[in-house]
Structure 1
Amino acid sequence: MDGISDVAVGVKRGSDQLSTYKNTISGTDCMNDGASNGSDSKKLKVDAAPPSRVLHIRKVPSEVSDAELIALGLPFGKVTNILTLKGKNQAFLEMGTEEAAITMVNYYNSVPPSVRNMPIFIQYSNHKELKTDSSNQQTRAVLPAVSTVPSLSSDNQEAAGTSPVLRIVIDNLFYPVTLDVLQQIFSKFGTVMKIITFTKNNQFQALLQYSEPAHAQQAKQALDCQNIYNSCCTLHIDFSKLVNLNVKYNNDKSRDYTRPELPTGDGQHSLDSAVAAALRKDSSLLGALNPLSAAAVVAAGKVALAGQPGVLLVSNLNEEMVTPQSLFTFFGVYGDVQRVKILYNKKDSALVQMSDCNQAQLAMSHLNGQKMYGNVIRVTLSKHQTVALPRDGLDVQGLTKDYANSPLHRFKKPGSKNFQNIFPPSATLHLSNIPQNVTEDDLQLLFTNTGGTVKAFKFFQDHKMALIQMSTVEEAIQALIDLHNYSMGGNQHLRVSFSKSSI
């Protein structure tokens, strides 16, 4: 894992070292560029440069970090150098090969890039490399962590030839692991062609295809049983039986980086029948990581989450049934909800403000596509940075609620066990804080009254906790919304969460 968490350090060091180099860049790339003042009124008037592994990036937001710009290039290959011109809102990114630069430019020509929700422009530079002067030779190694790939030992050559596809299981999923996070981490070891993410057996998993089997072997050697973030999001990696992934849609669950023209699929499932069949044949992954092992934060993961708002837009809600309280309870499984606002003129949509962007991503990854009150809801990141509260007396329908000081937040206590028990919605619910005088029949009746069918029930040994299985995930969601914090008498309130276990 040496090097993965060093990206940010390398970037900072390289940025400092490059300060003396900025005046050596020719004005050719920057000529007549409206990005120097952030205006769109001026256009680049020089002829397009021929392909080069140095790329010229324009309209760069002044507050952007080098790491965020590097993240633009990582999916396409090694990034070997960077130079930012803050005063001109421009940057130069040097890729490891010209082929990687061409692939990157072609991709962003069809999928316009943005940083911090601002569009940027990428083109070839007239420079063939970012050179240094003789007094500052160290700038040639700005990003050793990104450009260094471990060698493949001869003993593993045969194994590397089995499949370019890795199967990745992620345990202890406290922070979200998006396609972009996986892409940035695994691109260090070779060109990532395709990724499919899915949930199976209540575990978040991914299939990731490299251009070469050797790259898959290198990634497995370096990343298996490592954490993406400190003490969580543990990677368990093995080779898949598949040798090629058939990706139908480019969306938040699957991506074919070689085919940017693919449709989004409007929420269709990313797994085709061949992939699903192969998953059933894949060997189970090896044992769990020792929880005491130390692992550094992966800088690429931080880049993917940096600068993103903590507000979610939830749409296709059942407007006859949904309330701010039901959204607070449902989304509160994945973070501390601060505010909820059902839109006055579009009551099938709502804004949900989480306490930070990590929790917003986590809620989005688990709840998008789930059924709530009979409707399949859509959850996306909102452009809003916060949910505004109405003026006194204006919200007569009670559509906006402030939960900042709610005693029901699950994650307000540092080190709480709740951090270790975050799972996708499932038909099995975990119950806790059960009074000693409450029987199995009492609880079964309580959960049946939510409109669902109880399929199985199991008390833990001390009878303070139990598992209860509803007939469907939708019924379990309904039961959680209705019964989390339900008063059991004697100042005791039932705690309900999704379980990874089955009865």
Structure 2
Amino acid sequence: MDTEVKEEESGSQVPPSKRFRRDDNVDPTNPDPSIVVHVRNLSPKATEADLLEALSHFGPISYATCMPGKRMALVEFEEVEGARSCVVYAQTNQIYVAGQAALFNYSTSKMIQRLGLESETPNHVLILTIYNAQYPVNVDVIHQICEPHGFVKRIAMIRRTMLQALVEFESAEIAKKAKHAMNGADIYSGCCTLKVEFAKVIYIFRTLIMNIVNVNNLISMNHFQPEHVKVTRNDMDQWDYT
């Protein structure tokens, strides 16, 4: 389930060959319209959440990824019309991301392959990344913001370098609705900003088993269910609502 991520410039996290690759036979100086937009001149402090806040009004965004060392990013819209609206608007207007005017053009990449626990394939499990978490966030908080969009079956917090949460809904349709509603929103005003993606369900289990340090026995290999977030107890880091 490991994937590569296409990149127009290499970042510091992964070797260049493993990230964004230009499509063959595409003129990088005059790319054709694409659902992926290349963002330049970003503030070094800009995050994916800042991109969502600045660009979501052009159309639903599927994915965004920053390259802080290069001051660039890629943003993938769900439809080419969203990308076109962004690029056309930026030709005669300034778009500010994290307080700094950025530059926009179509990317030579036709999609962004996801890293880590994130997937481009719609399914019923979401991975929520919480940026600028100035207040405590636990399963009660996550359930409160997710439940209005549909029945939540299970939640598991992931407390590593980034604060994340796995949220399992009844169906992919409900998860997609929740993703559209929450992606780029703040849990609390001005902080705890959400980046919401579909989870790479099978890859989740291997990664969590190997790397989770603050949540013990989140997933039991003896009860491996690749389509479920395995919860072993009900507490502030995991909960089964079924």
Which bin holds the TM-score, normalised by the shorter protein?
0.3 to 0.5
Q: Relative contact order (C-alpha < 8 Å, sep 6+): which is higher?
A: 2
More strand by share: 2
**Greater Rg, structure 1 or structure 2?**
1
What is the TM-score of this pair, normalised by structure 2? 0.45
What is the TM-score of this pair, normalised by structure 1? 0.25
